[in-house]
Every structure is written in C-alpha cells, then in structure tokens.
Chain A
C-alpha cells in the first residue's frame, strides 16, 4: 500500500530570478512540511527534467542541493505524463519495500529562464527529427492536427473547445496561485490570436515558472490518508504521424488497465484531474476516459457537470490552461489540487465529495498515458 502523505505547490506564473533548483526546493520543502517529515526521513527521490537547465543527473543534483542522501534516486522523462509516471513508480517502490518515503519533485523557470520561442522550439523536438521537425510544426500544430481530425469525426466545433478554456479560467479565478485571474468568455477564446488552427491562443496553455512536489509513503502521516489505489500506463507511439486511429489511443487502454487493477469503475469517481495542455486535449481525454460520451464533453461543460458544484468537478485549480504549465510540474498541480480536495483543504474551492479521484496524464502527442485512482481513507 502507498499513501500520498504530503503535497507542495508554488504559485505559477513569473518567478523572476528563481532557478529550476530554487523552484524544486521550494515545492519540496512545502511537501515535506505537509507530510510532517524531515529530510533524513526521505530515502528516495524521483524528479522530472528541466528544459531550461538540462542535466544528465538531475535527481542527484537536486538531492545534493536540497540536502538529502537518498538510497534511490533518478530522473524520469515522459513529457507531460512524467508527474503521474513518477507517482506510479514511487507507488511501486514504496509498496515493494524498496523505499519508505519518496520525494517526487519537479520545477522549472520556463517562463523567465528562456524566451518563449526557445521554449516552443525545444518542445517541438518531440517531433520526428527527419520526417516532422523540418516541416516547422509546433506543439500546438501537432495537437491542431489531432483537433481537426477529432472535430471531423465527432462533430465537435471550435466553440465547443472554447468551453474548456472558459471553464479552466473560471476555476483559476478562485485559486490565488493561478497564473491568470481574468474571466474569459467563449467569444474571447474565438477572437484570440490564431496559433495553429483550429487552436487559438486561449486554447493553449501558457508557459510558466513554478514547482510542485509530493511525498509518497508506506505509512500515512496524517489523520486523513490519500491512498494510491492503483494505476496503469499505455504507450502507443511517439510521433503524431505514427499515431493510431482516434478510437485506439492510449488513454482508453491505460484507464481500462487502471480500472482492472483497482476494481473501480468510472461511476465510482467523484473528482477528475485530467491533463489539459490544449482545449482539444481535455475534450478528447474526458471522452476517451469515459467521463463523457463521444462529442458530448462540451455539452457537459455547458451544463455545469465539470464545475466545482457539478457532478464531476474537474481541475478546480484551473489546470494547465489557466493555473499554468511549467513543464513536469504543470500536471503535478492537478494531483496537488486533488489531494487538497480529498483532504478537505481546498478552501473556497472545496467540492462536496472527493472520496475517489481519477487522474490522467498525457505526454508527447497523446503518446504516453498514465491513469491513476486515488482513494481517501480515514
């Protein structure tokens, strides 16, 4: 068994003068304090990567900097799915007895540490170096391709996609740490600058500075425990050119495996924390995971289904789209928020019942998927 015993999250946006290590350290300290653990009690470290400060041994760089001598440490790289992949690995390492308390941490000064062009260019390299990158695609273009196809097959419109940006912004407005606090409308999204059609600026997550961390432990340290009930992955391709048909993407496969591993069904889920790099990503994943019927997710947003008071509250911190996206830490904020909701600490954002949460992360261009169920235990 494994428990998420502590979480830490910085505000996202601009952290002028902070390095990736600074942001990682800040989040790690918050997570340790939350778990009520000292540095000496952490015996394992998993960390993400930093595109601003790449290093072949980031986990030990961080361990030395932060002041921990762990018995297990390395970095993990699965793009946007890294946070949940690290959590899954920590779950298995803790459950199998390799470690007692593992620190999972990521942080990056992606906004202030490099130009936006440099960031966009670095990320475009997930494309094939010979067969895709010479064509000048960007990450929004890879997802733009997926979007036109999805819209074509399932009758989804640009206005439908805009609903997800509006919802994430509405949620971000209630979180003091979010990068954006100005409400937006569907008309604002539709009128925002074209980036890679059908995706416009407000369909895309921002580039942010920030850090996030968790502690995964064999024993719970607090009164309310959040247990990792089970998780699974699926990896169908790397490059969008080699992606399978829309009906055969990895999200469906990984969630089916996670359901099988836990014996849980979608009808058991009370809170959803779903990767949302672009509006299309969120729309597709909700439908792939079974949280909405095909082509029906936008209608559910309009009906309030995914709002704080709705039947399936979703990314109540504002998601990547509006809380912000600092690389690996970006989607880790989803887990931090799920933890706060499950332990009744989400302040004005608190939902009625977050007893069981479904988390899902996606890396590359819907290439790598991790699905995870968390359960509150008393």
Chain B
C-alpha cells in the first residue's frame, strides 16, 4: 500500500492528487485504490496549482467562532489543470471561468489552498 504524502489536508503547503496506472483515472480524494477500476496503489502526484473556477459561493454566515472570524470568505470549486476538481478558498471577486493559481493562506488555524487570478 502506498503511503500518503503530506498535502494541505495535513498541514503542508501542497495539493496532491492520484492517477491510476491501469486506467488513467485521476482522483482527488486520496484512496488506496482507483475508484474507477479498483486497481491498487494509484500514483500520488503534486498538482501545479493551476486551474479554472467552476463555481463560487461567498460565505457570509459561518457556524463556528473559528470560521466566523474570517467572514466573508469565498468558497470555490476549481477544475485543476491535471483533470480533477477541488474545493478551496479564493479572492472574493473571482468569477466562474476565471483562470486561477493556488497559494496557501491560514484559515481557522490551518493552511488552506487559496486561489487568485492567474497573471
């Protein structure tokens, strides 16, 4: 079983994804197998951080004291260049279709992916 290299979900400033050697499927949520064909040990790769905004929602009402300190914050779905979709934060004025690049920003005590408009 491949071990799971650290990424932003474990406090590291990186976005990881997996590709299946057997069928080529790309997946974002880490698993010990390919969710499309079941082959074991899909390869872990580091994403470039380049992508395009698929959807946005500016959160103005948060549910915990930790997150309330950050409102308003923009939650995004980003279609990444490598072929997977991820949830992240981003600049408040981003629109669907914008080309974006990832950086990392602390949120509620942990670094999270934060996308800004690609230059």
CB-defined contacts of A138 to chain B, threshold 8 Å: 59, 61-63
Q: How far is the CB of A108 from chain B (nearest CB, A)?
A: 18
**When the two chains form their complex, are residues B58 and A197 in contact, meaning their CB atoms are under 8 A apart?**
yes
- Which single residue of chain B is at the shortest CB-CB distance from A149? B55
In-complex Cβ contact of B57 among A134, A193, A196, A239 (8 A): A196
CB atoms of B61 and A131 under 8 A apart: no
B85 at the A interface (CB under 8 A): yes
| Given A134-B112, A135-B89, A145 contacting B56 (CB threshold 8 A) | yes
Residue B110 interfacial (CB < 8 Å): yes
Chain B interface extent, by class: 20 to 34
With contacts defined as CB atoms under 8 Å apart, how many contacts are there between chain A and chain B in the complex?
107
**Is the interface on chain A under 10, 10 to 19, 20 to 34, or 35 or more residues?**
20 to 34
Q: Inside 8 A of B61's CB, which chain A residues have their CB?
A: 138, 140, 193-196
A121, CB-defined interface residue at 8 Å: yes
A135 touches B88 (CB 8 A): yes
Given A134-B108, A135-B75, verify A148-B60 contact (CB < 8 Å): no
Known interface pairs A136-B107, A136-B108, A145-B75; A120-B54 also in contact (CB < 8 Å): no
Q: How far is the CB of A124 from chain B (nearest CB, A)?
A: 6
CA gap between A148 and B112 in the complex, in Å: 22
* Neighbouring A residues of B64 by C-beta, 8 Å: 117, 121, 136
Partner of B86, one of A121, A137, A194, A241: A241
Chain B residues with a Cβ under 8 A of chain A: 9, 28-30, 54-64, 66-67, 70, 72-73, 75-77, 85-89, 96-97, 107-108, 110, 112
A-B contact pairs, 21 of them (CB 8 A): A124-B63, A128-B87, A130-B9, A131-B9, A132-B87, A134-B110, A136-B64, A136-B75, A137-B59, A141-B57, A144-B58, A144-B75, A146-B55, A148-B57, A152-B96, A195-B60, A196-B61, A196-B75, A199-B57, A241-B77, A241-B85
